[in-house]
Amino acid sequence: MHEDARLARQEALAHLLEAEGLDALLVTSLPNIRYLTGFSGSAALVVVTPGRVLLVTDFRYEEQAQAEIDGAARVVVERTSAWDRLFREIGSLGPLGTIGFEAHVVSAKDAERITTVGRTWHWRAAPELVERLRVRKSPVEVAAVRAAAALAGEALRETLAAVRAGQTEREVAGILEAHLRRLGSEAHPFPTIVASGPRTAWPHARTSPRPVARGDWLLLDFGAQVDGYCADITRTVVVGARATDAQRVLYDLVYAAQRAARERIRAGMPAREADALARDLIDARGFGDAFGHSLGHGLGLEVHEAPRLARTSAEPLPVDAVVTIEPGIYLAGQGGVRLEDDVHLSAEGPVLLSDGVTELVEVL
């Protein structure tokens, strides 16, 4: 993370605080903390005021915090209670009246702690202020998602070369996850989904011990992470046999819907219109009830973030957002198909970040 990017983000947040009538913001969301400071540990509290940023963490991250933050915030390491230390340190940030807190992520216990132990200050719920900034990706952020997607695509190619009928879903997931790590993924941004046969009709199936049979659908939904930024890819293939006519009909429809959406989506378009780019094609063929989720979601430091490409949302899609395009059709007891790619909504039009290789693959 470049220091100038972090400082620019902190400055942008300071302008938001002024507009919201806040003197400071308590940041407890770990992705937001990483966005503002570069710190990637699992325990920290941050307070941002115009011109000052304080980060409190514990002994486990003493050296890591100093190395990653490198002057982008004042770091305080506390060996007992980080919350107690935070309240002691807030006074050093100057006279503060109203402090916002991230009500969308703070636990009930911590909310009580804020309003009782921290009663010296006036606290106000201020959800998703940092997320407003995160939705528009910089060129560096877009490049990180692109790198993660390239890594994911290569891992998939190597995995499919090793897939055979008779392997269990968990074996296939293990092969895929090993390739992801070997190629450089920092983490698995979410539990890898490998589903086969009729289980592909479960949009978020848990990978199971089921053996993959000849002629089965095999759905792989997985992610990679580079510099903290996520890719999210789904491919559906046929294993051990040629696709049947019925499988080809279903696949070709999802393929056409996904292709139409990823090529025609535009920044500024209402989210529900983006969703309709794929949904209208699927509806017209009589499978509308089998496409029950939204077209996609935002992607960045989290695998699910704003915006949401839902048929219920009239919000315009922000320029420079990165989103997934993932229509699917799910037929209970039979199976399903989902195809997913990652797209940058640039001012000039959609830019595909993943490989977009979605033609039907038969793994023989």
DSSP string, 316-336: BPPTT-EEEE--EEEETTTEE
For residue 98, name the pLDDT band (cuts at 50, 70, 90).
Answer: very high
- Predicted confidence at residue 94, as pLDDT, reads 87
Q: Produce one character per residue of 165-179: b if its CB has 16 or more CB atoms within 10 Å, e if not.
A: bebbbebbbbbbbeb
Share of the chain above pLDDT 90, in %: 96
* All domains in the chain, ordered by first residue: 3-134 (3.40.350.10), 139-363 (3.90.230.10)
Share of the chain above pLDDT 70, in %: 99
3-state helix, strand, coil in the chain (%, to 5): 40, 25, 35
Please give the model's pTM, rounded to 2 decimal places: 0.95
Average pLDDT of the residues in 114-141: 94
Token pair in block for residue 283:
């509806």
Q: What is the pLDDT of residues 154-173, one digit of tens each?
A: 999 999 999 999 999 999 99
Chain centroid to CA 308: 11
Average pLDDT of the residues in 232-259: 98
**Res 1 pLDDT > 80:** no
Average pLDDT of the residues in 247-253: 98
98-101 vs 122-125, strand pairing mode: parallel
**Res 331 pLDDT > 70:** yes
Q: What is the pLDDT of residues 69-87, one digit of tens each?
A: 999 999 999 999 999 999 9
For residue 115, name the pLDDT band (cuts at 50, 70, 90).
Answer: confident
Question: What mean pLDDT is reported for the chain?
Answer: 96
- Predicted confidence at residue 4, as pLDDT, reads 82
Token pair in block for residue 132:
């407003």
DSSP string, 57-105: EEGGGHHHHHHHHTTSSEEEEESS-HHHHHHHHHGGG----EEEE-TTT
Q: What is the pLDDT of residues 260-306, one digit of tens each?
A: 999 999 999 999 999 999 999 999 999 999 999 999 999 999 999 99
**Res 233 pLDDT > 70:** yes
- Predicted confidence at residue 258, as pLDDT, reads 98
User: Token match 């911590």: residue?
Assistant: 110
**Res 141 pLDDT > 60:** yes
